Amino acid sequence: MRSAVFAGILVVFGTMVVADIPQVLAVSATPSGSGWRFDVRLTHADEGWEHYADGWGVYLEDGTELGYRELLHPHVNEMPFTRSLSGVEIPEGVTRVYIRPRDLVHGEGELFAVDLP
């Protein structure tokens, strides 16, 4: 009985923590003259300057960072929101990249796979 209660507590608290991590809702990837442009739509429970989604990056499968979009302020009343990053160089032959959001309190969120057109 005691272990079942403890497991239930872990599930509840684990879910609460995940809820505070920024989530990528959608990504548009477009080739441009000097690389690729990524328009990333995020949601997060921004609370103000002490806890907000502070950026997202574009990564290869092996974790190599190709570009990073820093977010300089909270978006408390703007959820969800979209921000862009241009000029991202994608190596020849790569057909999939990953977007990983982050916030000030919890760090990195889940990877979001993006298949390049």
> What is the per-residue pLDDT across 46-67, written as a single tens digit (0 to 9) for each?
677 888 888 999 999 999 999 9
Res 8 pLDDT > 50: no
Counted domains in the chain: 1
Q: Which residues does 100 contact at the CB level (< 8 Å), separation at least 6?
A: 56, 57, 59, 108, 109, 110, 111, 112
Domain coverage including residue 13: 2-115
Task: Report the predicted TM-score, pTM, of the whole model to 2 decimal places.
Answer: 0.79
The partner residues of 99 in beta bridges, in order of sequence, read 58, 112
Arithmetic mean of pLDDT over the chain: 83
**Which pLDDT score is estimated for 68?**
97
Secondary structure (DSSP) of 28-40: EEEEETTEEEEEE
Task: Give the CATH number of the domain where residue 101 resides.
Answer: 2.60.40.3580
Instruction: Point out which residues pair with 112 in neighbouring strands.
Output: 99
